[in-house]
Amino acid sequence: MAKKLFVRTYGCQMNVYDSARMADVLAPLGYAQADAPDGADMVILNTCHIREKASEKTFSELGRLNLLKQERRAAGGDLTIAVAGCVAQAEGAEILARAPYVDIVVGPQSYHRLPELIARAARAGGQVLATDFPAEPKFDHLPEDGAAPGPQAFLSVQEGCDKFCTFCVVPYTRGAEYSRPVAAIVAEADRLARQGALEITLLGQNVNAFHGEGPDGRAWGLGRLIRRIAEIDGIERLRYTTSHPADLDEALIEAHRDVARLMPFLHLPVQSGSDRILAAMNRRHTAADYLRSIDRLRRARPDIALSSDFIVGFPGETEAEFAATLDLAERVGFAQAYSFKYSPRPGTPAASMEDRVSEEEKAERLERLREVLERHRLAFNRRSVGRTVDVLVERSGRKPGQLIGRTPYLQAIHFDGPARLIGRILSVEVDSAHGISLGGHAALAAEAAA
Ligand code: SAH
Ligand code: SF4
Ligand code: F3S
């Protein structure tokens, strides 16, 4: 009888990719994916350590899983519990001590070993821990085949980070920067295209630092990789995330100018508009550098939609330094952005810096920044009204007969249409703009052709 696997994913898109790959690794062992923990034989929590709140979710979820495991044992069965991802990497030993019912702790670079770890846990009847950074990258050991993606697929091309921003855990949880060889990436993209993906998002913690070995033996940058993948039949749309401002080179900007399939959208985290704070964060760019990059991008692709991440209340941030962040946000006019209160992370340099900003101050700054970001987002969305845009239809909406998709600018848009249109790219006329989404109707020609 088939065993059931449930994977719960927290954190970034790289974790979403990893969760799918873990399921691919376990499929040959007879594990089929379940959509809830209740009937599962094995549950994997793929965790995130980026902020305190994200990390805390792991332990509360583990408490619930323990109850399920006890129930299952009382009924003569069992439940294998594995913790994967960035909390596993950062706090592996602590998890085993605090949660003795956890069977397996596996880091983000070791999950290709899951079959062996499951066997070891079963044999030993105890806990197993795999959080080393193996010399050989996990990609060399992952199956070439995998479950079919939806119309939208993720593809990890780069892993880890060597930037060491002083607030960030990623260099510690994901390890050193590594780029996959171009041939392996192209093979995976070919497979995704054959399985029906229309859109691929190339992933990396620092994706524009990509420098994978090309078929010519030379290191290829991300711009060149994008041109190559854009040649694959069936891949209508390409995106990539997340980029670092210091690694934005001319070749990538030119790809935005020349490659029609590369969507006019860029997520380029800036974190702060103050040069003193940027230096304290070890970001390796100034506010002026960032604004110059934005100008170059807009010259290459005038309609490009920009997105960013911000941190407010970094240690020592003054009111004037925060005002510089508001100013930068006003000047760029982001189409969307994420903003966070600074969260001290154990082991990072910023966690031991003096001059903590109070929680009230952080909350107040976050609110002021969000007001600016939301105003620009709404303005950007309003400029879409009356236009006809290509929409990749991803899924059904909450209301009956409603479909939800994405515009080239990554805006969510809902409109009425039959479910058979899911997985197609349609022309949709935008009728209305809301804070986080658009409303529209499918243009008639597209409906008739469908
Ligand atoms: N690799 C990306 C983003 C990694 S994490 C980059 O280079 O920017 C995603 C976002 O989480 C970051 O951009 C940052 O805004 C936020 N973040 C990271 N560490 C944080 C912390 N300690 N407190 C608050 N926000 C944080
Ligand atoms: Fe973290 Fe900075 Fe690396 Fe992004 S670039 S993952 S914020 S250390
Ligand atoms: Fe979180 Fe790890 Fe991604 S800390 S944001 S899951 S790289």
pLDDT tens-place string over residues 161-184 = 999 999 999 999 999 999 999 999
Please tell me the distance from the alpha carbon of residue 450 to that of residue 424, in angstroms, as a whole number: 9
Please tell me the distance from the alpha carbon of residue 343 to that of residue 191, in angstroms, as a whole number: 40
Please tell me the distance from the alpha carbon of residue 396 to that of residue 439, in angstroms, as a whole number: 14
Q: Check if 137 has its Cβ closer than 6 Å to any atom of ligand 3.
A: no
Residue range 289-295: mean pLDDT, rounded: 98
**Per-residue confidence (pLDDT) for residue 445, from 0 to 100:** 52
Domain ranges in the chain are 3-130, 138-382, 388-449
Q: Check if 89 has its Cβ closer than 6 Å to any atom of ligand 2.
A: no
Amino acid at 208: N
**Per-residue confidence (pLDDT) for residue 450, from 0 to 100:** 46
Residue 215, pLDDT > 90, answer yes
Ligand 1 nearest-atom number relative to CA 168: 19
Residue range 349-357: mean pLDDT, rounded: 93
Residue 232, pLDDT > 60, answer yes
Residue 448, pLDDT > 60, answer no
Find out whether 366 and 341 touch, Cβ atoms under 8 Å. yes
CA distances from 168 to 17, 146, 176, 286 (A): 21, 32, 14, 18
SS3 content of the chain, % helix, strand, coil (to 5): 40, 20, 35
- Output 444 or 380, whichever has higher pLDDT: 380
Determine how β-strand 237-241 pairs with β-strand 31-33. Answer: unpaired
Q: Quick one: fold of 388-449?
A: OB fold (Dihydrolipoamide Acetyltransferase, E2P) (2.40.50)
> Strand runs (DSSP E) across 140-221, as ranges?
152-156, 158-159, 178-179, 199-203
Residue 141, pLDDT > 60, answer yes
Helix or strand holding residue 129 (H, E)? strand 128-130
Measured in Å, residue 262 CA sits from the centre of ligand 1 at 25
Q: Check if 309 has its Cβ closer than 6 Å to any atom of ligand 1.
A: yes
Threshold 0.85, pTM exceeds: yes
**Per-residue confidence (pLDDT) for residue 136, from 0 to 100:** 87
Q: Check if 173 has its Cβ closer than 6 Å to any atom of ligand 2.
A: no
**What dotted CATH number matches 138-382?**
3.80.30.20
Q: Check if 446 has its Cβ closer than 6 Å to any atom of ligand 3.
A: no
Residue range 370-385: mean pLDDT, rounded: 97
| Domain 3-130 superfamily per CATH | Methylthiotransferase, N-terminal domain (3.40.50.12160)
Mean pLDDT of the chain: 95
Please tell me the distance from the alpha carbon of residue 389 to that of residue 443, in angstroms, as a whole number: 9
